[in-house]
């Protein structure tokens, strides 16, 4: 099955997604905005590139790393959906990042879905319960993920 962002992956000078990523059946929690908001399932890469539509001059986030392989790996990471293994881990990370970047808006709610091996492949889970998910084409995450909690009080 092809990846949703296959076209973008192919432009990188790095293995994307990495061969270490594996398909999993796993509970997944993600920050989202209102139901149906286009930002809900938009990758960090998409968000940055929308603001900088000239591909020959990528945003500083991707341009300030001199090693092309490292830049490609960072771009690949940003082409994945950010997920958490529990609602608590998602909330903790949201609070941490909101305090660190007070002007940034990361979402308003926590949404939940059970991911299957047919949805995509996943990075290893880090100590914060975070993992990256590279989606396969044709998976409708907007219909699968259900809002379960508020992040904004």
**Where residue 72 falls among pLDDT bands split at 50, 70, 90?**
low
Long-range contacts of 42-47 (CB under 8 A, 24+ apart): 43/5, 43/78, 43/79, 43/80, 43/81, 44/78, 44/79, 44/82, 45/5, 45/8, 45/75, 45/78, 45/79, 46/79
> In whole angstroms, what is the distance from residue 55 CA to residue 128 CA?
33
pLDDT (tens digit per residue) in 107-143: 999 999 999 999 999 999 999 999 999 999 889 999 9
Cα-based distances in Å from 20 to 17, 35, 68, 124, 125:
8, 32, 20, 8, 12
CA–CA gap between residue 15 and residue 75 (Å, rounded): 11
The whole-number pLDDT of residue 80 equals 94
The pTM of this model reads 0.85
More confident residue, 61 or 17: 17
């Amino acid at each position: 099955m092809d990846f949703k962002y296959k076209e973008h992956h192919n432009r990188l000078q790095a293995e994307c997604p990495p061969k270490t990523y594996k398909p999993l059946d796993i509970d997944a929690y993600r920050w989202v905005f209102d139901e149906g908001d286009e930002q809900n399932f938009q990758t960090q890469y998409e968000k940055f590139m929308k603001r900088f539509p000239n591909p020959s001059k990528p945003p500083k986030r991707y341009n300030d790393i001199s090693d092309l392989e490292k830049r490609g790996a960072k771009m690949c990471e940003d082409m994945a959906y950010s997920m958490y293994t529990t609602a608590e881990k998602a909330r903790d990370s949201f609070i941490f990042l909101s305090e660190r970047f007070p002007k940034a808006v990361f979402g308003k709610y926590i949404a939940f879905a059970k991911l299957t091996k047919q949805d995509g492949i996943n990075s290893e889970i880090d100590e914060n319960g975070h993992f990256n998910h590279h989606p396969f084409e044709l998976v409708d995450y907007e219909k699968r993920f259900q809002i379960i909690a508020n992040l904004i009080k």
